[in-house]
Every structure is written in structure tokens, then in C-alpha cells.
Amino acid sequence: MVINIIDDIEKSIRETAKKLLEEKKVDLIIGYTKGSIPLRSGPCFITDASQTGMLVWNQSCDLNLAKYLAKNDDRKIGIISKGCVGRAIVHLIVEKQLNKENITIIGISCEGVLNRAKIMVEIGDKEIIEANIEDNKIIIKGKDFNKTLPLQDYINQLCITCHYKIPPISDIIIGNKKPEKPPKDDFKDLNEIESKSSNDKMEYFKKELNRCIRCYACREACPMCYCSLCFIDQNKPVWFGKTADISDNFIFHMIRAFHVAGRCVSCGACSSVCPMGIDLNFITRKLEKIVKERFDFESGINLEAPPPMGTHKFDDKQEFMIEED
Amino acid sequence: MKSEDEPIRIGVFVCHCGTNIGGVLDCEGLTEYAATLPNVVFSDHNLYTCAEIGLKTIKEAIEEHNLNRVIVCSCTPRTHEPLFRSACEEAGLNKYLFSFVNIREQCSWVHMKKPEDAFEKAKDLIKMGVARATKLEALETIVVDVDPSALVIGGGISGMNAASNLSKQGFKTYLVEKEKNLGGLLNSLYRLFPNDQESSELLKDIESRIQADKNITVYTSTMITSIDGFVGNFEVEINQNGNSIRIKVGAIIVAVGATPLKPINLFGYDGKIRITQFELENVLKNYSLNANNIVMIQCVGTRNEERMYCSNFCCMSALKNALIIKEKNPDVHIAILFRDMHTPGIAYEEYYRRARESGIIFIKYSPEKPPIVEENKIKIYNEYLGTEIIIPYELLVLSTPLIANEDNKQIAQLLKVPLEENNFFLEAHVKLRPNDFATDGVYIAGSAKWPVDITESISQGYAAAARASTILSHDTLEVEGATSYLPEEYKDLCRGCEICLKLCPYKAIRKNEKDEIEIIQVLCKGCGVCGASCPKKAIKIKHFTNEQILSEIYALGGKELP
Amino acid sequence: MTDKSKEKSTEEWKPKIIAFLCNWCSYAGADLAGVSRIQYPPNIRVVRVPCTGRINPFFIIKSLAYGWDGILVSGCHPGDCHYISGNYIARRRFAILRDLMTFLGIEPERLNFTWVSAAEGERFAKIVRKTVENVKSVGPNKIFNKKW
Amino acid sequence: MMQKMISKEKISDLIKELQKEFKVFGPVKEEGVVLFKEITDAKEICLDYSNSKIPAKSVLFPMIDTLFSYKKEGKGVKIIENPPYEKTVIFGIRPCDSMVFSLFKNFFSFGKYKDPLVLNRLKNITIIGMGCLEPRTTCFCTSVNGGPFNKESVDVLITEFKDNYYLESITDKGEALIKKIKSLTDADKGDLAKIEKLQKDIESAIPVIEGLDGIYTKLDGLFDHPMWKMESQGCIGCGSCTYLCPTCHCFDVLDENKQDGSGRRIRIWDTCQFPLFTLETSGHNPRTTKLPRVRQRIFHKFNYYPKNYNIIGCVGCGRCIINCPVSSDIRNIFISVENISSKTEG
């Protein structure tokens, strides 16, 4: 019974947050709160122990809260961290963007979040009035329809393959069920795309990215996108086009992906926040695969391991290089 | 010096290179084509642009047409760039405003059979060259003062020779040794191969020379606590018995040597009747030896999974010591159990021959079937006989390797130089720069980088001193102007992720007191790894700027080939 | 149809390839090819860079965006880098870039990476031939053409 | 006023008829998302939708809008004007979204400078709006002077009833248009009264947001209020609220050059939510943090707009609520404003 466990976690989150605030161990708790429409959640920033009732935890908590931590923030912050939030924090520490001393990681075991875009496509972009998750089912009520969907089919792909349900480092861990370790990641979910011809791949991604309106929600939601001025906004020199033309969109998403290679913590926030429902998870998965298979690296796991783009090995694979015939 | 703001005026000089270019390409046509390109105000062609007359044409054109960019379209910049650069400088043009277009190696010579295609390609190359020239910037070379003094870390045989040599060349030298006495491992040796000289004799000789040398300051019982600065200008803090001393030097030599391995838990080592080869040397000093059966085992604790390397001198040590014993008492039975005897060269092979002649027994063993040491006998499988044999012993001598010093890591961090996998120091290039580190002004000698014998230690000491003197012999150093830096206007872009700092092969990047990235111009070689890796694109690589490279990409993008 | 015009009409499309060569090895390798008068197809246009480590991946994408049909990047062999480790760092960068671009549907044949030393004039020519062949196999680059 | 009807089945006939004279834009479903696009095939039109993802402002004010093209000729540059704008019908737009057209008219002709592109388009566009039978829970059009069947900004209003669409001409332009369409029949008079009741019922079911009443004056004193810190702390600074807002119209102008010396000057959507939006050449940026940017969005719509044009710069479509990645709800801001001002009054 998924729902019970999640309820318990929510309760413990509130109690833990309250205690931390009351004991003045933290100045601020960053957590999730209910969104104003169903299947949505938002961040909340709690400084007063009496407000901890706002905190929630459910399968719509798709943001990566590490986004709200800042390098020069001197406050003592307690942050509700599912696995990928914890990973983001670790990697940000590796990249010298955070001071661990000020952060209390409240680790929670996460069963995965929903792929809302997929649900919206399933119900034809109709308005959801009410949504509940019970017995591994998502029960959706609209004005003139009811729909029950199997929960498992609408969990984000990244969560299904996720190996880090709880943060790699935590100060407190909440969760009454030891998360099952998923089977070894074989990246089978990529097989379909990878086996396509170049042309078909390009068609697929162009079709997806054609919808992009360049609102940069993907970038802004990404904990690893912390540049003060994104390459796309730089004008000395102007690197790439800012229009929503497919060629510019394609390049933007390609380079953004390259930029987070070896840094991406596979939280899927970029996809979850996309107002146009563009599925960027395939790209995220591919990045995971590249750095795992090439450099045996997973980001945000180890505070000591140098990021793959910040080091090299003499015997890195070079099978991609051309040779004379 | 031309002003930065004046309009760009490019002069293009096409070289026939006799018939090398002119025989394939229509140089006049190229000259005409060049004249049509933006910002080109002058174009000309010569039979040999590199000849006196060609250079004169360039200089005159700079004067006459007020050129502020010069392009020569001829051969490879790898050979002729310095020549044309100095011609430009003579005419008052910053040498970095000169640009080369290679239409010989890349065009006329490799497309001789397709002159039309070659002509079109040459046009494209010129177009790209002009585009790049437009974006060129004048650069200043940096000049730094050099402190004509050196620090030698480690007072062993290698370090002492380096110090003595530097002093002889007239450089003030500081020799720092962490132990109470100079000499390092020389102190624990008896006689030295290849000529059986007494170790103490060699040590006394060089030590007295060093102590008498006014140019050398010796600090014993002293540790290095901090090293700051860069080539020509290092600031070093050392600590002698709790007293902190600051010294300024222009170059540093790392001669910290290495440590003999104590074979704990190997072959029953006990330090009494089962001792190491180094301990044997001590025994031999007073010749307090009363064993009739001696067995030596080679490659103890080395050439295995933990330590893949060969320690280089142990075969020779064993031979030398065995011969010394045989000389004193020819009746002593000595057996050397070895994996491979390593006695290169004439003098060393001679030892081996003498050893065999004197009746020393050599038995080869394989790592799969190592000798089994018992109370007073050794069981060894003899490969040639195909059977196990038993040798009695009263003294068992284990030849152990030199291993890296425990504090190597600490010193490496202070110097920002790399260690290899066994924690020995790693030189810049095993063949091209064997006594240099990648970091300028820091050199290496002796067993700090690899176990070597005394002879080699001495040569390396000299070698490192010679390398250091190439810096110290100059009052100032001129450093290449084409380096990387973090421009003031890009400082906001930098978020301090330290990727550049991790990647810089020369450790030229550091974080300053304000926690900002800073590239030490003197150390930077302009390779551009930092700038290309910077996720924020905050670092500027002079002379290969983004704008310059992009201009070449733009110049020709988007068009079909003719 | 005369022989000459026939020849012209069957003459294939000539891809335009930008070649980023490191100054110390591959540029020198190209020089050696020149000195040795080894003939290779006239499709590459060389951009000299100090080291492959200097090649910002943006240059490669930018080249494709600006209509170059293919890319050749060549540096020193592993262990030979004039700047110690620049080529190793570049290798990681290109591996990721090429994997990612291939995944997104850009033909890998356009993205050619290799090592050529200063002593390998013959190899340089062969690599250029191979690169031209690769790029020809995938046709003109229209990936980033805008509609207008 | 003229009232006509057409059965739902025949709607593609109507579109085809319109296409003879006009370029027709209408809601089209692509990859599960409804957008306003030019209808090439009458069957593409998707009228079973609550509202489009991207508002129909994109017809008048496209994401990429060519201002003019140019070509190098010798040493000079030749300017190439856009081809003339064709007569256009926007079909099936919701009355909330169509409010934007009058708002744009004000904005793009404010003061000395008239935007010829937008104004010319406005002249050539006829709007056939479609009443909203199922307002979403996030809709609040009635609180911002609109309504699900608001007639103010459409030329023709369509209401879906049983198996038919009822068309009512609102403007002369609309009447002229309806008159021409042969596939329409006269409206069933008996249904008209029922339709009117239906419209009223739907309209009154939309909850009214108290705080919006007179928000313009209330905001006046709140520029420096600490509430903005609260409201902005969750914002991640993306542009989804503004890009998907029917009334937002900020743009950036840039040139795109081709290698052959030709090029075009375009404007693309821009948003006050990006730090670069206000970055000045000197390097100074008046809005460096999220706070002033979030506040700007509210002030622009609910204070500056009313001041400048006497119109609220919000049509109550709720898109910003639905699409906000961090689920920030503009209605909460209205409530905060109301609470603060009622406290200060009290």
C-alpha cells in the first residue's frame, strides 16, 4: 500500500521540520506544499514551526528543491530531500556551489514521482478537478469524466530506473520502508530510440522540441543550471539563436544536455516543469548512460569523486575515433 | 604601436615560393581575390616573401599603407612565423597582429593534380585568414624578474650534487633535509658499485664541500611548510625545529629520494637472521658476520600486484654484497634466489660474471612458486632441475625495493606537481623532459621519481641543476603573450566551480583570497583547456579567442564548394 | 553530351569540411603530408588551434549550424600532448558530444575525431580521405537550415 | 445583430467557405496540445477543447515575427518589406483570449509610436469567438471585466448548443461576414432563450475573486511591501507564465544573417521574468533579483495597464496558474493584496 507509507512520511516530515525549527537547529525548512491544482506541488519555505502543517509529500513532488539553495546563503537550512535532491546537493558541493555546513539534509525515501505530461495526454488535456492515488491507481475526476490509471505506468521513467531513492548523504532519514534496489540499469528504455536511423531520431526529437517556446523552465528548474549568464543569453560572442525556430530549439536543448553531462542527477525536473509537455527524459537517460558506460561515473553520489569533465583517464574508451582504412 | 580603435587595415602578401606555390596556384589571381575581401587595403605577391626583398616589401607596406594587420599566404607557420613576426615588429606592428595562411603544405603541394580545386581552396583559406586577422588583438609579452637562487629539497646524494652544482654556477642555494644529517640513504650503505668505493668516503667528500660552500645554506631537521609563487619567484616557508624561516628562490629541485621497504610478514623477516639487503650493508660496515650459509632472495615485496615496478638496483646490491662477503671469506656459501637478474651495461655485467666465478649459486624462481622459508632452511623449486631443493641458511637477506616516501603527497600538494600511481613524483615527460615537472621552475632528481642507484642519482642531480640554471641564469623571463585569463568583464560569469583549476596541466589556476579564479600568467602556456572546458565560457584564451576561431567558421560556413 | 560535360555532371557534390588541428602534432602531420607531396582530397579547410583541449564543443556545433558538412578534429596521440593532458580532456569532451549528437539524430559520420602525430603525413592524408568519404556518405548538411 | 446556426457536422463546410476569402486560424491539436494555427485542412479544427495551450495572441504577435528582410547590394543594403497581410479569420477563440485584441490595439499604438505590423493585422482580422461552456476552476474572467460569453471583443460569437453551433454577429464586420456564408441557416428561435439562460448560468457559476475589485489603487501603496518577498521566493524565473499569457507582449529585436549577405530583422517573445530583460548596456540592471520581476508582472497587469489604458492587463484565463512549474497561483496574490489593504483600511 503505497499511500500509507507516503502518509507516514508526510507526518514525520512535519514533525521533523517542527522539531528542527523549534530547537533552532535550522532557520528555514525548504519542502513541498500542495499545489493549487491537482497533481501539482510547489515549494514552501517555512521559518515558523507553526506552519509545518503546510508540508506535504506525495507523488506530485517533482521539483528539485536543491534549486533553492544558494552559494552565499548564510542561513541554516533544512531541506526535504528525496534521492535526487540529495544527489544534486552532493554534486553542487563538489562544484563548490554549496557549503554543506549550513545544510541539514532531511532524507526521505522516494517511490518516484508522476509523469504529469503523460497523464494529461491520456485524458486529452482536460481539466482535472480531483486526483487521488490509492492501491497503486491514480483516480482522476474531471467535470464530465472519471478515469482510473495504473500508477506504475505513469511513474516517471527516471524514477523507475532510479538507484538512489534516498539521498547519498543525509542528516536525518525519513521513511519506514527500505527502498528496494532496482535491478541493474541496462538502459533498455533507450533501445527503441537508439536503434532508429539518424534521420528518424532527428525527426523524433525535432517533433518534440518543435513545441518548445523557449520559456527556459527546464533550465530554471535544473539544480545544475546555475550559470550567472546562460550560454544562450551571452552576446560576446553570440553563441546560438534565441528564437523558437526548431533549429535554434534543437541546438539549445542539445547544448544544455551537453552542459549537464556528468552533472545531471536525473531528477527529471526539466521535463516535469515543461509547460509544453516536452519529454526531455530520454536525453537525461542518455546522459546517464554515456557517463556511466564511458567513465563509470554517477553524479552526486560521492563527495570526493571528481566530475568526469574535470578529470580524465589514460584508458578512457576511444572507440569512436576514426582510423585510416 | 598601433591604436586599438583605428579601422582595420589588412595587408595580404601572397608568396609564390618559387614554383612551389606559383607552379600550381595562380598567385596573381589570389592577390586580386584578397583585395576584394573586407578590410583588406593592400595586397601584393612576391617570388619569395621570406627573402630579404619580401620582408622589405612587408615593412614598407606597413609604413606606406598604415597596415595594422599583416597576412602572409605561403608556407607553414610552424617554421616561418617567427621570421615574419619579427619583420612586423621591426616596422612597429605588434607581432600578434601577424597572421599566416598556409597555401603550400595545405594546398599547392597536396592538390598538385587538381589546380582548380587548389585555387578555390586557397581562396577559402585566405578568406578565413582575413576573417581571423580582423579579430586579432595586440598582445604584450610578460616579463618577470628571476631570483637567482634555488631550493633543493632533500639532502641525499642527488640533492647534494644538485646543490653543489648550482652553487658552482654562482646561484645561492638552500639545501633542506628533514633528517638530522645530510646524506640520505648513503648513510646506511657500505660500499658502492661499480667500483666498490666506500660510501662514507663519497659522503664525506661531498658533505665537506657543501658545508664549506658559502653559497649553500644547509637546513637539516627541516620541513617545508608552504610554497607560494611561480617560476623565478617562489616564496618558501620552512620550519627548522619549530622556527619558521622564509626564503625566496627562483627554482626548486625535488630530490627527496625514497624509503627502503621493510618486508614485514614477508619470508619470515625478523631483522636478526632474516634481514634486508640494506640492513646487510650495516652489518658489513663492521663486518660482524659469522654465517657460513647465506641466502639472498630478490624481488621481495616488488614486481607483484601491489608494486608492479622493478626497484632497479637491488640485483646489483646483492651481487656487490655477495662479492664483498666472498672476498672476505671465500668459504661462505651464498645462494641468490632471483626472478630475473638485472645487470645492464659492461661494468654491471662484469659483477655478475665475477659472482658466478666466485662460486655464488644463482637459482631462478617464479612468482607462482616462491621460496618457502623455514627455521634454518629454504625450500625452493628449481625450474631447471624440475624439482624442489633445500638450502640451509644462517643468514637470509631479502632484497626489498625503494618505496615512495610517505610525505611525497604533502610535498606534491605544496608544489602542485603530480605523483604517479606508486606515489613517486611524475616528471613532465619521460623522454622529452625527464628532469622537469610540468610546472615551470620545478625540477626533479634521483629516486624521488623512480628507484635509481647512486651513479644515476648523481647524474640526475647534475641534470636537474642544469635545467634549473636555464631559468636562474636570466635576470628576467619573457613569457608568451598568448595565455588564458579571466577578463574583468567576464568575472561575473565565473561561479567558481573549479573545473578549470582541476584541469589545468600547469597548475596555473588558483583561487585568490577573494575566492576568485586567477590565472597566473607566467605559468600559463595558453593551451586553452581551461577556457574550452569552462561551462560558463568565462575564460579568454588570448590569440585563439572564441571570436577569432568563430570568425574562421563563419567565413566559409553555409556555402557550397565551387 | 561531350565527354567533358559528362564528366562534370557525374562529378559528385564536394563536401566542405572544417578541420581543427592541434598546432604541435596534427598540424605538423599535415605539413609533413605537404612536404611529402601526398595528395588528398581538397575538401578540408584547416583551423589551427594550440591543442585539441582548446576546442570548445560549441565550435563543432557552430560549424554544423553554419553549414559545414563535416568536422575533423585531430590532435596528438594519447601521451604525446604538448600540453601534457589536453588531448585526454578533449577526448572525454568529444566522446560525450558525439554520443549525444548521434543520439539526437546527427549523423556520426559528420563528426570525425582522430589522432595524427607530426610524423604521420601519410596517416593524415588517409584520415582526410576517410573523413571525406564519411561525410560524402551522409550528404549535404541541412540539419540546422532555417525555413526562411 | 444577426443570429444564425449550423449543425456541428457541417462545421468543416463553414471553414471551407471562409477559406475561400480568408486565411483561417483555429484551434488545432498537435501532440496532445491545442494551439492556434492556420487551418489548412478543415478537418484539423478541434473545437472540443477548453482553451488553447498557447493563446491566440500568437496569430497577431507570432513568436518569431519578421519585421523586414534585407539583402546586401553592392555597398548598400536593400530593405525588403513583408508581403501584404492577408485577410484573416480567427475561428473558435475563447472570449477571454479575444479581449487581448483591444488591449494590443491600445498598447501597439500608444503615444507617438504606432506599430504598423500589428495595427495592420488588427485591421484585417475578423474574430469569430466561441463561448466557453466549461470554464476551468482556474478561470476568473468575470472578475476582470470579462465572461465566458463576453461579446466585447469578438465580431461573431458562437455558442455550442446540443447538436448545433449558434452564431451571433456582434459587430458590423461580423454581420457582413455571416451574411456571406451560405452554409448557415437561420437560428432556431426556440433555442435562443435557452441559450441565453445557459450562458447566464455558466457565467454566474464562475467564482468571483474579491480582491480584484479596485486592485489598481490597492497596489499603489504596496510596491515596497514585504509580501513580494513571500510571493517571489518560490519562483524559478522561467517565462512560462508570461509566454503563455494572452496579454503579455514584450519582445526582443534581433537580426538574423545568412552567409550570402541577406538577412532579416525579427522580433521574438521576451519576458520581464528574465534577468536579461532589463540589463542595460552600461551593465546596470534595475531588476537583478526575482522579487522585482515577479512584482513587475503583477504591477504591469494590474496597475500600469489600468493607469495607461484604463484596462486590466489580465483576462482571467488561468493559464499562468495551470502552467506555473512551481504552482504559484496569481489568485493568492490578489488575496494577499486584499488582506493587506483591508487591514490598513481597518
Enumerate the domain spans of chain D. Answer: 3-206, 212-345
A-chain CB neighbours of B551 within 8 Å are: none
Residue B493 belongs to a domain: yes
Q: Are residues B368 and B311 in the same domain?
A: yes
Per-residue confidence (pLDDT) for residue C9, from 0 to 100: 43
User: What mean pLDDT do residues C111-139 have?
Assistant: 96
Asked whether B474 and B176 are in contact (CB, 8 A), the reply is no
**Residue B376 grid coordinates:** 634454518
The confidence score (pLDDT) of residue B1 equals: 42
Sign, Cα dihedral of C80, C81, C83, C88: negative
Please judge whether C104 and A283 are an interchain contact, meaning their C-beta atoms are less than 8 angstroms apart: yes
Tally of domains within chain B: 4
- Structural domain of B376: 261-400
Report yes or no: B229 and B235 within 8 Å, Cβ to Cβ.
yes
User: What is the nearest CA distance from A69 to chain C, expressed in angstroms?
Assistant: 28
Residue of A67 and D31 predicted with greater confidence: A67
State the angle between helix axes of C26-35 and B77-90 in degrees (0 to 180), rounded to the nearest 10: 100
Q: Report how far apart, in Å, the C-alpha atoms of A227 and of each of A137, A219, B534 are.
A: 40, 10, 11
CA D106 to chain centre: 14
Cα–Cα dist D336/D215, whole Å? 11
Quick check: is C143 in a domain? no
The Cβ-side half-sphere exposure at D220, using a 13 Å CA radius, reads 7
The pLDDT tens digits of the residues spanning B250-301 come to: 999 999 999 999 999 999 999 999 999 999 999 998 877 889 999 999 999 9
Residues of chain D contacting residue A44, judged by C-beta atoms under 8 Å apart: 234
Q: Is C148 domain-assigned?
A: no
For B379, other C-beta atoms within 10 Å of its C-beta total 13
Does residue B6 carry a pLDDT above 90? no
Q: Can you spell out the DSSP letters for C41-62?
A: -TTEEEEEES-GGG--HHHHHH
Same structural domain for residues B227 and B302?
Answer: no
For the domain that residue B521 is a member of, what is the CATH number?
3.30.70.20
Mean pLDDT rounded to a whole number for chain A:
92
Q: Which of B139, B157, B183 is the last residue of a domain?
A: B139
From the list A35, A37, A115, A46, the residue with the least C-alpha distance to A80 is A46
Identify the pLDDT of residue B179: 95
Q: Give CA torsion, residues A61, A63, A64, A70, to 10 deg.
A: -120
Band the pLDDT of C2: cuts 50, 70, 90.
very low
Q: Confirm if B161 and B462 have CB atoms less than 8 A apart.
A: yes
The pLDDT, as a whole number, for residue C6 is 43
Asked if residues D49 and D26 have their Cβ atoms less than 8 Å apart, the reply is no
Mean pLDDT for B159-169 is 97
- Closest CA of chain D from B558, distance in Å: 6
- Per the CB < 8 A criterion, the answer to whether B496 and B200 are in contact is no
How many residues comprise chain D?
A: 346
User: How many CA atoms are closer than 13 Å to the CA of D101, on its beta-carbon side?
Assistant: 26
Q: Is C133 exposed, middle or buried (0-12, 13-18, 19+ CB in 10 A)?
A: middle
What is the predicted pLDDT for the residue at D345? 65
C66 in a structural domain: yes
pLDDT in tens, D82-136: 999 999 999 999 999 999 998 899 889 988 989 999 999 999 999 999 999 999 9
* % of residues, chain D, pLDDT over 70: 99
Q: At what angle do helices C121-138 and C26-35 cross, to 10 degrees?
A: 100
Report the number of distinct structural domains present in chain C.
1
Spacing of C-alpha B476 from chain mean position: 22
pLDDT recorded at residue A4:
40
Residue B292 amino acid letter: N
pLDDT at position A20 over 80: yes
Section A106-121 average pLDDT: 93
Q: Does the pLDDT at position C148 exceed 80?
A: no
Contact residues, A window 14-73, toward C, CB-based 8 Å cutoff: none
Which residue of chain B has the CA closest to C87? Answer: B529
In this prediction, residue A2 carries a pLDDT of 36
Question: Can you give the CATH number for the domain in which C21 is found?
Answer: 3.40.50
Q: Tell me, yes or no, whether B81 and B37 share the same domain.
A: yes
* D330/chain A closest Cα distance in angstroms: 10
pLDDT at D260 > cutoff 90? no
Nearest C-alpha neighbor of B522 from the set B241, B147, B149: B147
Question: Tell me, what's the pLDDT at C10?
Answer: 46
Contact criterion met (CB below 8 Å) for B266 and B367? no
The set of residues, in sequence order, having a beta carbon less than 8 Å from that of A38 and lying 6+ positions away, is A128, A129, A130, A131, A140
Residue contact C16–B546, C-beta within 8 A: no
CB contact under 8 A, A229 and B536: yes
pLDDT at C1: 40
Q: Mean pLDDT, to the nearest integer, of A263-285?
A: 95
Domain membership of residue C146 (yes or no) is: no
Find chains touching chain C: ≥3 CB pairs under 8 Å.
A, B, D
Count Cα neighbours of D152 within 13 Å in the Cβ-side half-sphere: 18
Contacts of D318 (CB under 8 A, 6+ apart): D136, D138, D139, D140
Grid cell in block for residue D57: 495572441
For B351-373, the DSSP string reads: HHHHHHHTT-EEEE--TTS--EE
Tell me, what amino acid is at B118? Answer: A
Minimum distance, in Å, between the CA of residue B185 and any CA atom of chain C: 32
Are residues D260 and B557, on separate chains, in Cβ contact within 8 Å? no
Q: Name the residue range of residue C43's domain.
A: 14-138
Residue of A nearest to D234 (CA): A43
Identity at D226, one-letter amino acid code: P
What per-residue confidence (pLDDT) applies to C7? 46
d(CA B148, CA A202): 62
The pLDDT of A107-126, averaged and rounded, is 92
CB contact under 8 Å between C96 and A258, yes or no, is yes
Does B560 have pLDDT greater than 60?
no
A295 touches chain C (CB under 8 A): yes
**D259–C148 C-beta distance less than 8 A:** no
Residue B386's pLDDT band, with cuts at 50, 70 and 90, is confident
What percent of chain C is predicted at pLDDT more than 70?
A: 92
Q: Quote the pLDDT of residue B561.
A: 32
Looking at residue B89, its pLDDT comes to 96
pLDDT at res. B384: 84
Q: What is the mean pLDDT of residues A118-122?
A: 92
Among B139, B172, B206, which residue terminates a domain? B139
Amino acid, single-letter form, for residue B325: I
pLDDT tens readout for residues B220-231: 999 999 998 899
pLDDT for C11 equals 62
| CATH code of the domain in which B392 resides | 3.50.50.60
Q: For residues A121 and B11, what is the distance between their CA atoms, to the nearest angstrom?
A: 63
SS3 B239: strand
Strands B509-511 and C17-22: unpaired
Domain boundary among B338, B366, B400: B400
pLDDT computed for residue B287 by the predictor: 78
Residue A285 pLDDT exceeds 50: yes
**CB–CB contact C146 A316 (8 Å):** no
Mean pLDDT of chain B: 93
Q: By the CB < 8 Å criterion, does C148 face chain D?
A: yes
Closest CA to B311 of B461, B181, B185, B415: B185
For residue A3, pLDDT over 50 is answered with no
Question: Does B328 lie in the same domain as B230?
Answer: no
**Sign of the alpha-carbon dihedral angle for C18, C22, C26, C29:** positive
Residue C132 in domain = yes
Most B CBs within 10 A among C4, C8, C16, C141, hence the mutation to make, goes to C16
Residue that is written with C-alpha cell 589514460 in the block: A314
Rounded to a whole number, what is the distance in angstroms from the first to the last CA of chain C? 37
* Res. B4: pLDDT tops 80: no
Tens-place pLDDT, residues B114-125: 999 999 999 999
Q: Which residue has the higher pLDDT, B163 or B440?
A: B163
**Range of weakest confidence among A81-90, B201-210, B262-271, C6-15:** C6-15
For residue A228, list chain B residues with Cβ-Cβ distance below 8 A. Answer: 492-493, 495, 536
pLDDT surpasses 70 at B43:
yes
